[in-house]
Amino acid sequence: MQGKVVLLIGANSTLGLNIAYRQIESQDPNDALTFILTSRTHERAVEAGEAIKRFNEQRETPREIAIFPLVLDLADMHSITNACTEIKKTFKEVNYVYVNAALGVCSGINWFKAIQEVITSPVQAVTDPHYKIQQTGLRSKDDMGLVFQSNVFGPYYMIRKLLPCLYLGHAVIVWISSIRSDPTYLPLDDLELIESDTPYEGSKRMIDVMHLATYKNLKSKGIYQYVVQPGIFVSQSFNVHLNIITYYLMMIMFYLARRWGSYWHTIDPYKAANSAVYVTTFKDRDFERQDLKYGSATFNDGVEHIKPEEINDRGKMVVGEFLSSKEEEWDLKLDV
């Protein structure tokens, strides 16, 4: 069984799993689905597969699905090329790609600043906070900026190497960006985000402009690329810095922010995954705009909806040329 093939990068996160759940629900009932689930370890990929199977089996009408666990470390270029070889050897075509790469390097919280932001601007404090402490100067084993390689260049390079499969599958590529991707987060003189004190946000900004620089070329090959953002939701990554009291205080602030008019507080990872799967369901792809970022949003009563936004294109050409030159550099290094 193959049917439609879904490559889900970052499958074992809360958002990744909920993207898979919504894909199962939204796909044509007659389509079988094969999920290629990537994770840094085989065990975590298998765990994600088991969770997806349980979700499917609990539906009133389960669909036919298959799971293909795949070890992938986006901070290791050899791991990326090995994963691409395995995919091309196993699958003739790939129909959907979700890039849910979200490596964060938060080392803690500046609690004084956090309290100050909550008091002076409570909605802003839980929408675009500036009290997270991120590590700087981190490099991968390939001597690239760690967050840059894991969140941007690694998946970008992987997609480039999988183009024959994507072309045959008339693929839809969905990059998961963030609400926190303002142009100010991306220093154009530090594109590998090595010295940046906001490397995570910088990587998400780079995804936005990378998309603007590449989607037209992909479209000429019959491949449609979109960029989306999930809003603000409860994820595993940040909870490690909270105790039970601060966790529930955060949850209260999330719901208050939504009640006070913040449509970006999706809170529930299932609602956060809405925009990612939404863009794969377009009936007329030539009619729908690709130069927008489609955001998962909710009304203040929690009802979900999609909110598209314009993307500032500052740095588009610089980022596009930089990634292209990096691809050529690594083609030579890897002899591909």
Which tens digit of pLDDT belongs to each residue from 256-288? 999 999 999 999 999 999 999 999 999 888 889
State which H helix or E strand residue 47 sits in. Answer: helix 42-57
Radius of gyration for the alpha carbons in the chain, expressed in angstroms and rounded = 19
d(CA 336, CA 332): 7
DSSP state of 335: T
> How far apart are alpha carbons 97 and 120 in whole angstroms?
41
**Res. 2: pLDDT tops 70:** no
Whether residue 81 is predicted with pLDDT greater than 90 in this model: the reply is: yes
**Kind and range of the H or E run holding 84:** helix 77-90
For residue 238, name the pLDDT band (cuts at 50, 70, 90). low
pLDDT at 236 over 80: no
pLDDT at 1 over 60: no
**Domains of the chain as residue ranges with CATH:** 4-106+138-231+272-295+307-334 (3.40.50.720)
**The pLDDT of residue 9 is above 60:** yes
pLDDT tens string 195-223: 999 999 999 999 999 999 999 999 999 99
**Six-digit token pair at 118?**
């909550």
Supply the DSSP symbol for 280.
G
Q: How far apart are CA 101 and CA 10, in angstroms?
A: 6
Contact between 63 and 35 under an 8 Å Cβ cutoff? The reply is no
Average pLDDT over the chain, rounded to whole?
Answer: 94
8 A C-beta contact, residue 179 and residue 232? yes
Q: What is the pLDDT of residue 336?
A: 79
**Token pair 């940040």 in the structure block, residue:** 238
Q: Residue 335's pLDDT band (boundaries 50, 70, 90)?
A: confident
Catalytic residues: 177, 200, 204
Q: Is the pTM of this model over 0.85?
A: yes
* Exposure of 87 in the CB half-sphere (CA atoms within 13 A): 32
How far separated are the first and last CA of the chain, in Å rounded? 30
SS (H, E, C) 211-255: HHHHHHHHHCCCCEEEEEECCCECCHHHHCCCCHHHHHHHHHHHH
Q: Which of 229, 241, 258 lies closest to 107, judged by CA?
A: 241
pLDDT-derived band at 242 (thresholds 50, 70, 90) equals confident
Give 136-195 as a DSSP string.
Answer: -S-B-TTSSBHHHIIIIIHHHHHHHHTHHHHHHTT-EEEEE--S---GGG--TT-TT-SS
C-alpha 117/C-alpha 254 separation (Å) is 14
Tell me the per-residue pLDDT of 101-154, one tens digit each, with 9 for 90 and over.
988 888 788 888 888 988 998 888 888 888 888 999 999 999 999 999 999 999
Query: Which DSSP helix (H) or strand (E) runs through 295?
Result: strand 292-298
Out of 177-191, 246-260, 267-281, 288-302, pick the least confident: 246-260
